[in-house]
Amino acid sequence: MYRKKLTFLLYIYILTFQNIICTVFTQNLNIIAQRKIMKRRIFVKLGILSSISTSLYAKEKNSVRFYKTFSQALLIPPLAQYNVLKDGTKEFNLNLQEGEVSFLQGAKTKTYGINGNFLGPTIKVEKNDTLKINVKNSLKEESVIHWHGLHLEGHNDGGPNRSIKKNTSWSTTFKIQQRAATYWYHPHTHEKTGAQTYKGLAGLFIIEDEDSKKANLPKEYGIDDIPLIIQDRRFDKNANFVYKYSMHDEMMGVKGKVFLVNGVNAPYVDVSPKTIRLRILNGSNARFYSLVFSNIQDFYQIAGDASFLEKPLKIKKLLLAPGERAEILVDLSTLKNTSIYLGDSLSNKALIKINIKNENKQNFILPSRLTTIHEYSNIRKEKALRIRNFSLDMRMMWMGINGKQMDMSYINEKIILGETEIWRIKNNNEMPHPFHIHGCSFKVLSRNNKGIFPNETALKDTVVVYGEETLDLLVQFNYKASKEYPFMYHCHILEHEDAGMMGQFTVEEA
C-alpha cells in the first residue's frame, strides 16, 4: 500500500529516495532556523528532478525579487459577515472582483478576489443553519461559485451549468445538513475553472456541529485555530501571473515555483507555546504537497475532507492532493522562543515560518476520541444497489472518463434518489488523479481490493487514485440534481477537468 504512494512520488519528479530528500529538506530548514534568516531558497539540486520540470522552471526569469526571508506576516482570511433575516436565515454577500496584490517585491500583480483583492472570506456556520448566499459577478467574464464538499441540491451546487454572467448576481438558499469539517468554495466555470482559480477565486467554508463544539480542541480562529490555503504560482518578469495552457500544462497541470500561503509569499506566523490547530487546504491547481515540519516532529491529523477521524492519528508527514483538506494538531509547548518551518518535501521548499513566543507553555490533553462515523455502517458492501465503473482516461492531447470527454449537453449517469452505490474508479495511466464527486461525501472502501490508508477512515469528497489503481467508494445520494443543473464528477487537477476529465449525473426519484 505505501509502496503505491512511493510510486506516485517517484512519478511526480521527486523521485527515487523520498525519505532522503525529506531529511535533507528538514536539515536545511533547521540551519535556517538557527541563522534566523533565509539566506537562500530551500531548493536542493540533487540532480534528480525530471528534465521536464527543470526546463519548465528554467524559462521563468524574473526581474522582480522573490522574498528570500520570511518577513511578511501571514494574513488570516476574515470571517464573512452576515445578516440574520426574520426567519433566522443567515444571509451572506459575496462579490467576485478584480484586484491587485504585491506578491513579489517591487511590483503588483493583477488578481481576482472575493470581497477583496485575492481569495475570499471564510464562511463559518453551524449544522442546521439555513443560508442565503448572494453572489455578484463584478468580473469582465462569466463565472460561478461551487460549494466544494457541501451536501445540497444540484440547483444550489454552483456547477458549470449555473454560470453567472458579468454584472449579474445569483442567490442560493440551502440548509447545512452535514458534519463539521473544513470545506471550501471556488469557481466552476466551464473550461475556465483552472484560470479563474489561479487568479484568486477561492475561500474556506467551515462547518461546526455538536462534536466539534464539545471537543477539546483549539478553537480561537486565527490565533490557535489557523487556516492555511496553500497554492503555487508562476510570474513573468513584470510580476504578472503566468497561466499558459501548453500541451505540457494540459497533461501535467500548471505548477509554479512561488508558493503562497493565504495569498502571502513566504509568510511567518507568531503563536504561543501550546498546541495549535492548522486547517490546511491544498488550493493549488495541480501540485501535490507532502507536508513536514523542519524539526521532523510528530503531529496529529484529526480531520479529513468531510469529517473528523474517529480518533487522532499520529503522523510525521501529510500528503494532500489538489482539493483535499486536513486538520492537524501540532504541539509547540516545548519550543518557546524558537522557530520552525512547515514545508513541502516534494519540492523541498519551506512554506511558512512559525515563530513560537517566549511565554509560559500551555499544556493540552489530546482527545482520545473525536467522533463516531456512523454513515454507511448499516450498509454492507454486497448490498449496495449497483456498481458503477469509471475509467480515468488520459492520452496525448486527450482527457476523459469512460472514453468520453465532458459535454455540457450530455448526462453521463442517472442515479435514483436515496440509493447507495459502489463507485469503482480505475486509473488507466501512471499519473495520479484526485477524484471529486459533487453533492455528497463518500467512504473509501478499498484500494485494489486491499486496505486503505489510515487517514482515509474519515468521510471524503476528494480522493487520490494512484497510477494503475482501482478504488471502491461507497456513495449515498440524498440530494436531487436535475438535467438542467446536474452534479459533476471529475479529476481535481483543474487543467484535467477543463480539458474534459469530467462527467455529469442526475439524481432523481424513481
Looking at the domain assignment, is residue 361 inside a domain? no
Asked which of 214, 239, 264 is the last residue of a domain, the reply is: 214
Mean predicted lDDT score pLDDT of the chain: 89
Asked which of 197, 214, 231 is the last residue of a domain, the reply is: 214
Contact 229, 261 (CB under 8 A): yes
- Count of domains in the chain? 3
pLDDT digits (tens, 9 = 90+) for 220-231: 999 999 999 999
Question: Which has more confidence, 296 or 6?
Answer: 296
Asked which of 181, 214, 247 is the last residue of a domain, the reply is: 214
pLDDT digits (tens, 9 = 90+) for 295-337: 999 999 999 999 999 999 999 999 999 999 999 999 999 999 9
Does 11 have pLDDT greater than 50?
A: no
Looking at the domain assignment, is residue 11 inside a domain? yes
**Direct distance between the N- and C-terminal alpha carbons of the chain, in angstroms, rounded to an integer:** 39
Looking at the domain assignment, is residue 415 inside a domain? yes
Instruction: State whether 186 and 244 are in the same domain.
Output: no
The alpha carbon of 308 is separated from its chain's Cα centroid by a whole number of angstroms, namely: 16
187-190: long-range contacts at Cβ-Cβ below 8 A with a sequence spacing of 24 or more? 187/143, 187/144, 187/145, 187/146, 188/144, 188/145, 188/146, 188/158, 188/159, 188/160, 188/488, 189/141, 189/142, 189/143, 189/144, 189/160, 189/163, 190/160, 190/163, 190/408
Looking at the domain assignment, is residue 403 inside a domain? yes
Instruction: State whether 235 and 335 are in the same domain.
Output: yes
**CA 364 to CA 179: how far, in whole Å?**
25
Instruction: State whether 163 and 295 are in the same domain.
Output: no
CATH at 289: 2.60.40.420
Instruction: State whether 240 and 199 are in the same domain.
Output: no
Beta bridge pairs of residue 173: 132
- Determine the pLDDT at residue 98: 99
- Determine the pLDDT at residue 12: 43
Torsion sign (Cα): 206, 208, 213, 216: negative
Give me the domain span that covers residue 12: 2-63+218-356
Kindly state the cell numbers that stand for 320: 494532500
* pTM for the structure as a whole: 0.89
Does 436 have pLDDT greater than 90?
A: yes
Instruction: State whether 94 and 170 are in the same domain.
Output: yes
Looking at the domain assignment, is residue 436 inside a domain? yes
Instruction: State whether 299 and 311 are in the same domain.
Output: yes
Instruction: State whether 210 and 89 are in the same domain.
Output: yes
For residues 61-72, average pLDDT: 59
Beta strand ranges found along 411-486 (DSSP E): 413-416, 420-427, 433-437, 442-447, 462-465, 470-476
Looking at the domain assignment, is residue 369 inside a domain? no
Model confidence at 67, in pLDDT bands (50, 70, 90)? low
Instruction: State whether 243 and 208 are in the same domain.
Output: no
Question: Which has more confidence, 73 or 28?
Answer: 73
Residue corresponding to grid cell 471550501:
184
**463-500: burial string, b at 16+ Cβ within 10 Å, e else:** bbbbbebbbbbbbbbebbbeeebbbbbbbbbbbbbbbb
Looking at the domain assignment, is residue 366 inside a domain? no
